[in-house]
Structure formats: C-alpha cells, structure tokens
Structure 1
C-alpha cells in the first residue's frame, strides 16, 4: 500500500458483510490506513478499466489520462504504464506526469491563462502546448526564442457545435477555452510565420456524458472540422486530440456508457484520417472515466443525532474532502452519490438518515435522507464512485480540519 500524497481509489465487492478494496476488507483497510477520513484507490480496478476500454475501441486510438481527475502521484505512476500519454493543466501537474515517467513528448498542457513560468516549464520539458488564444501563441513563441527552443504546439479549437447532454459544457459558446473556429485560419497563418512546431488540434467540448450517440456525433463533427481547418495549417496534421466526455453513472437511473456506437464512429474517423491526413494520430483524453469507479471515500461516524424526527450521522469527513459528493461541484440539482455503512453491508435494521460532516455550513452534506444500515458511533461510511475529483477538487483548507489521507492499494 502506497501513501505518497493522501487519498484512495475504488473497485469493490461485497462479501461476508465487508466491502473489499484491493483484496482488503474495509475494516482491515481502515486499520492499515490508521485514521479516517481517507480515500482508497484500487490499482487493479484502474488497470481493468483501461484494458476494457482498449478492448472496446479501435486499436489505432491513443488513450491519454487527464491528470486533473486525480493527480495522486502513485496513481499517476500506475497509469503511466497503462496509457499513451497524459494531459495536464498546471506546472504542478506537469511535474507529476514527468515524475511518473511519462515521456515529455506524450504530455500535453492545456488551460487558459498559463503563466510565463508555466510556459517556460512546458517548453523546456518538450511538452505539447495547447494554445488557447492568439495572445498565448505569441507568448509561447517569445518563450521559445528566450530558451533557444522550438515549442511544440497544437491549437485548441472552440467549435460552433456542442456536446449534447453533457454534464459540463466546454465548447460551442462564448467561453474562455480555445479559439473560436472562425478565427483559427488566420491564427494558423500567423503561426506559420513564428518559430513554432505545429503538431495538430485539440477539441474538448464537454464532460460527464452518458449518451453514446451524442459523444459519437460530437467526435465526428470534431474530426471533420479539424480536417477542414488543417487545410490552413503550416504543416501536416500529426495529432488530433478530440477530448473525452465519457461519463460514469453516479445516481439512480443512470447506466454505464455504451461503447459500441462510439467505437464504430472512431473506426470511421480513423479511416477518414488515413485517407486525408495519414500522419495524424487520434487521441482520446479521459480522466473521470478511468478512475472514478476505482475509488472510495471513507469517514467515521462520530455521533448519531435526532432533529425534528430526522436522523443525522455526524462524521469526521465532509465537503472539505469530497466537494463533488456534497453536490457542490457542478450539480444543478443535488443528488446523492452511492453511499453505504461499509462495515454493515448485509443484514441488520435499516433506517433513513443523512450523513453530514463537521463544517459549520448546511452545505456539508454527504448524503441526504438515504436508506442505510442503522449506524452507531464508530461505524464507517463509504462513498463510492470517489476515484475522481476528490481531494484536489475540494476546499481542504476551509475551517482548518485535517486533510484526508489517500492510499493506492
């Protein structure tokens, strides 16, 4: 078990009243960690997820891990041996990817408002910079000149279409991300006069989507748009990153994403690229889809409390560790993540209870009136689907409570 940062990941099976992660029963895992709250991530579950995806998709598609989903160093190192590259959005994430052993040429750096220091780090490392604006293009060229290097760049396109049914919209509107598609030809013309190595395009139009049809449609539009704009490029298209958007089910009524329609669309895209841009490699950029299901968040009940007939389980964890589970990370209508009393998985009385943390705000709510095994002080609350957007996406400093541990098992 490794604890390079703080937090775990998840794949679980119920047996003998215990939740198991990485072969360890939950109670034993909690003893090994030594304290709650903690995140635990299952390396076997991550590897199985990547293998499943590779088996379902065409072999010509490259898989990149979006490090923002979970930047735990040990997890990144594990994933480095499973994927074809990593996508980062800060100098800190760039260091994590490089320290994990990812080749600099397989690291891409996206995000608006990159600092001068970040540009210098990326250019010096040899990472691929995704240009988010014409101004950034000029700054990257200046940085390359200062360092005596030719920066590798891709233009991030903000297309006129959107990813339908996306949980988060990142294209097809007035946004801080990318260059509006109608501005790209002029930008490419200017890029050809600068000391920049044009590699390709990046499109990321949405996230957390469970509609295979919508994803396949957006991918088709992305490939066709990139090929049209490649006619204006100063060099042949060598890489096309069409983002991800693959969602995972968190809530009742949601189902796993169907991969067959997406795979069929990608087969057509690869054939089209082979005919029109034979040097181009097609990249999928996935984060949540690879790691969310491999992680759990575990906290301990400190007290049972009854208020106006409602049971509250007061725990040592909360939104400062797991903002997404509290409903405050992009949910329009708050819904409960899958939650259980981990050491009482079968049998015994059940009740409706709310799971809350120690923060002085009513937003500190991990589960709102859900059916659970009756819990007492000392019992363990488990929040599933917690492998993505956990500690690094949460207000850990709020009120000064200790951080959650993270472990990879």
Structure 2
C-alpha cells in the first residue's frame, strides 16, 4: 500500500486540479505473484491467464513472458493478445462462438479451441475444411458431479456451458472420424471463486478419473486436459486467501488417475492472477449525515468498479489522508463513526462499502479499494450518465 500511496501523492502534486479517481496496477507485484504460483505447480502443469478478468494491455505485456499462454472468450480478446504477442499460445473458449470467431481462431493461430456442443463441433469441422487445415481442440464438458459449490456455478447443474456428459461419446467419435479435427483432450471449468483447497483437489481428481474413463473406452490418445480456473479471492478477509502452496503440494497425487504421466494439465486463472495487483482509488467529494447514518461520496463508483455491486459485498477499503484543503470554510469530516462509501452515480445502488469503521474521513482524502485488479473496469458500465472515466496508472 505504501507504493500505491506514494504514486497517488505524486499524481496529486502534479495534477491536483480535478478530483483524483484511478485504477492503479502494481506490475512488479503482479509478476512476482504469478511467477511464484507457476514455480509451485508440478512440472506437467501449464498456467494460462484468463484475460476476461482484466484485458488491460499493460497487464498482458507484463504477463506474456511469464505465463504459458492466455485464455480468451471472444475474437476481440484474441486480437488483444495478438496485439501484445504474436507467439503466445491461446486457448479459446466461450459458449457461443460465431463462424467469424472460429475462422479468426484459425487466422490468429489459436492453439486450442474449446468446443462446447455437437453443433459447434460440426461448424468447426466445416470451417477448418474450408481453410484446408486441422483444428486442434478440447471438448468442454458440463460434468454432472459431484462438484464443489462456488460463487458462480458453470457445471454440476444445467447451465449453458459445455456439452452434457451424454453427448461426449458422439463428439469423440465425430472428432476421431474427421481429417480436419484433432481432439487432444477435454476442458472442464465448473465454478468460480472457490477458496477451499481440499474441495478443489477433489474436483481435479474427479476430472482425471473421467478423462481416463473416456480415454480407455474410445482408445483416445489424450495429451492435454484443461482443468479450468475457479481459484478464488477472499474479499471478506484479505489475509485468508487460497493456499496455493498446499494445493500444489498435494496436486501430483490427485493427477495420478490421468491416462499417462505425459498428459499436460492446464489451468486458466483470471481472478486469482490479477486481483491482488490492482487498486481502485477515488477522492472523497462529500461527507454527510442523513438520519444518523454517515455517507462518504467519492469521485467514482460502481460505473468504474462494479465488483462490489455485482457480488453484493462490502469491499475492503483503506484511507489515504490528503492534507491539502483549498477552501476557506470548514472541512467536512467523519471521526470514529461507521461510514458508508458511495459513488457519484444517480442511483441508490451505487454503494461500494457499508458501515466501515475508519478513524477519520475528510473531504479531499482518498479511499483506496485493494484487490481491484480483476473484474473491475472491464465489467463496469463505463458510460453510465456520461460520467468521466478513471485514469489508469501503473507501478513498475
């Protein structure tokens, strides 16, 4: 946080004419965190960054030399990756790919296409044939379970993600019969934001056993299994995060059911990769008390940082005092009382944190929200009410 505070102070001294509002990304912390994670994983594992969590070009450039590749969910995201690196492997998923996206995957040399239905498989085969090429793919399967429960659930129950287990035999046979398809294995991404190590290990083992069953039943030479992301971030207690060391140490035993030691295991982590490197910070515009409840209004809100509203949680926040005060009248403040932090949107839902105890909050101070690197700006309503956009600042 000291590096973030210093960067904000520097910015305020240089450009203090308008209220401060910015996303700040600590690229040094990002690279160290992801490098540590990769070093912990067993040698057969490959770590991909799922860019839907944050597709900022500076973050992609920072990660390109470290990760084994990128996972995308649209042709637009393919192009963002290729604008940064021409060589990094790309995994392309998503429940509704158009013909243009499938052709774009071929054009941009996507490494693996995640195919999610028999209809999509037939279209991929047709388009690959028209380009005179062979498309390498994984079948994304919506497993029936048993699976752990995450904040968001993509498998273990009926959802739009992946093909039903009942369709897997037909998909395998169709891929094996086509000269324009090369089926390399399977893709599973069942949940989001899981914090329980043992549950995640159990899910991984379940994946491995199902892959072995299909491999033996259909004499399928599996060389690659994508076991998804879904590793979570604890926004309620920033000191109690997913124990990656414990997970990685126990992972080899849970991968033993796979058909061969030569099968590569892919993980595609978005939130876990970038959440901790990002901060959303905004200046306090007003402090007011209404019917005994204190509100601090900031020069930003959910139109920039939607995550607290989307997940309906009170986001952690830190106070960064600013001593500058340019007005001739008394500076409004809140001392040792719970304060609810709200944005400047013309909406009663624009609440980022509820009843936070801070020793002193004054108009002109800056409030910083840590763990804002994932699913912040990229999922927000940028142009709501034509409000100004935040700045994007980077710490090397």
Query: What TM-score results when the alignment is normalised by the length of structure 2?
Result: 0.90
Q: Given the superposition, is the C-alpha separation of residues 261 and 165 from structure 1 closer, same or farther in structure 2, using an over 3 Å criterion?
A: farther
User: What's the CA shift for 1:100?
Assistant: 2.1
- Decide whether the 8 Å contact of 1:88 with 1:107 is kept in 2: yes
Q: How does 1:238-257 map to 2 (within 5 A)?
A: 238-252=223-237, 255-257=240-242
1:3 alignment counterpart: none
- Counterpart of 2:63 in structure 1 is 79
Query: Is contact 1:318–1:359 with CA below 8 Å preserved after alignment?
Result: yes
Equivalent runs, 1:354-365 vs 2, <5 Å: 354-365=340-351
Post-superposition CA distance 1:154-192 (Å, at most 9, x none) = 100111115424111111111110111221011110112
Check 1:253–1:321 CA distance in 2 against 1; reply closer, same or farther (3 A cut): closer
- In structure 2, the residue matched to 1:392 is 378
1:204 aligns with 2:189: yes
Equivalent runs, 1:10-409 vs 2, <5 Å: 12=1, 19-21=2-4, 24-31=6-13, 36-101=20-85, 103=87, 106-127=89-110, 128-194=112-178, 195-231=180-216, 235-252=220-237, 255-273=240-258, 276-325=259-308, 327=309, 329=310, 331=311, 334-343=312-321, 349-409=335-395
The 3-state SS of whatever aligns with 1:231 is helix
- State the alpha-carbon separation in 1 of the partners of residues 393 and 185 from structure 2: 37
Q: Tell whether the 8 Å contact from 2:44 to 2:262 is kept in structure 1 after alignment.
A: no
Structure 2, gaps ≥5 residues long: 324-333
Structure 1: gaps spanning 5 or more residues: 1-11, 13-18
CA contact (8 A) 1:313 1:354 kept: yes
1:389, CA displacement in angstroms?
0.4
| CA deviation vs aligned residue, 1:265-299 (integer Å, no higher than 9, x gap) | 421245444xx334421111111111101110011
Please give the alpha-carbon distance, in whole angstroms, between the structure 2 residues aligned to 1:97 and 1:265: 32
**Structure 1's 55 and 151: CA in aligned 2 closer, same or farther, altered over 3 A?**
closer
Change (3 A) 1:264 1:47: same
Given the two structures, how large is their TM-score scaled by the length of structure 1? 0.87
Paired residue secondary structure (1:71): coil
Q: 1:30 to 1:83 in 2, by over 3 A?
A: farther
Alpha-carbon distance in 2 for matches of 1:118, 1:232: 32
Contact 1:63 1:285 in 2 (8 A): yes
- Rounded to whole Å, the distance in 2 between the matches of 1:146 and 1:394 is 39
**Per-residue deviation, 1:49:** 0.9
Match of 2:328 in 1: none
Q: Distance in 1 between matches of 2:173 and 2:154?
A: 25
For 1:145 and 1:217, how far apart are their aligned partners in 2?
Answer: 39
Cα deviation digits, residues 343-387 of structure 1 (max 9, x gap)? 269xx9433211111112111011111112422222111111101
- Alpha-carbon RMSD: 2.2
Larger mean Cα displacement after TM superposition, 239-248 or 260-269: 260-269
Cα offset for 1:29? 4.4
Go from structure 1 to structure 2 and tell me whether the alpha carbon gap of 1:289 and 1:33 turns closer, same or farther (over 3 Å shift).
farther
